Amino acid sequence: MQHKRDQFIGLLGQRSLVMGILNVTPDSFSDGGKFQSHEAALAQAKRLVEDGADIIDIGAESTRPGHTPVPEEVELARLAPILPGLAQAIEKPISIDTSKAAVARYAISVGVAVVNDVWGLQKDPAMADAVAEGGAAVVIMHNRDGVDPDLDVLGEMRRFFDLSLALADKAGIPHRHIILDPGIGFGKTKDQNLFVLNRLDSFLDYDLPLLVGISRKSLLGAMVGSEVESRLVATLAANLAAAARGASVFRVHDAAEHVAAFKVFDAIARA
């Protein structure tokens, strides 16, 4: 696991990185129910790798708006037939999309290199220790219960990140193992999401990589009037805008198209 973790961390800052999405859930907003068997999940993971994804992010609980939370037993039951074999078969690092420490510990034990926590180490009090003890890297995503259109969203995000980073430091997670995610689509209005994307560079003073996950989200669908699987162009536009403002990791459904787009973007940005 550690060599794959270091493989991924070593690429951070070198170029734009693509995190391919693999949901093994029945109810995710874009691809729920498609990849619940080992064979289907493995085929999709291999497809994402062939398309150029740098890391595969596997999730066993939907976090879409209005989702029904599932207990850790269900999450583990969805992962057990799939994750161990996937970790062995895929040469690229794998991240686990979970906010539960028990799920993170299991995933790390079978070879997962990164924990992608949509509650930034703050939902489960044992999560920071699970990450630290397992030696995994971690994505700390901003989230909040409910939406407040009058919120100073940037100030709220900094307070959230400061608390999460304090938890990480207390647990002994190395700074170099941490990635921040602004949580586009989580606990924010449409205008706040757009504002945060426009001001991503205000978080660069943390000296940590920024990950953006906006692929196919309803925010984009509302803007361009497209169905879920027809939001590629809108997703590319949003991710390129985020890259121009300092984001360096992009969680996407369509790996090949993003790999091509970022090759051009990175070449221009570094010319």
Cα–Cα separations (whole angstroms), residue 163 to 117, 120, 170: 14, 9, 11
Is 47 catalytic? The answer is: no
Cα–Cα separations (whole angstroms), residue 270 to 9, 33, 107, 173: 20, 40, 36, 31
Name the residue among 9, 19, 97 with its Cα closest to residue 258.
Answer: 19
Task: Count other Cβ atoms within 10 Å, centred on residue 174.
Answer: 13
| 211-212 sheet: strands from edge to edge | 178-181, 137-141, 114-117, 94-97, 55-59, 17-23, 249-252, 211-212
Is 4 catalytic? The answer is: no
For tokens 């040469």, the residue is: 91
The single residue of 217, 245, 263, 270 carrying the catalytic annotation is 217
The single residue of 159, 251, 263, 270 carrying the catalytic annotation is 251
* Residues catalogued as catalytic: 217, 251
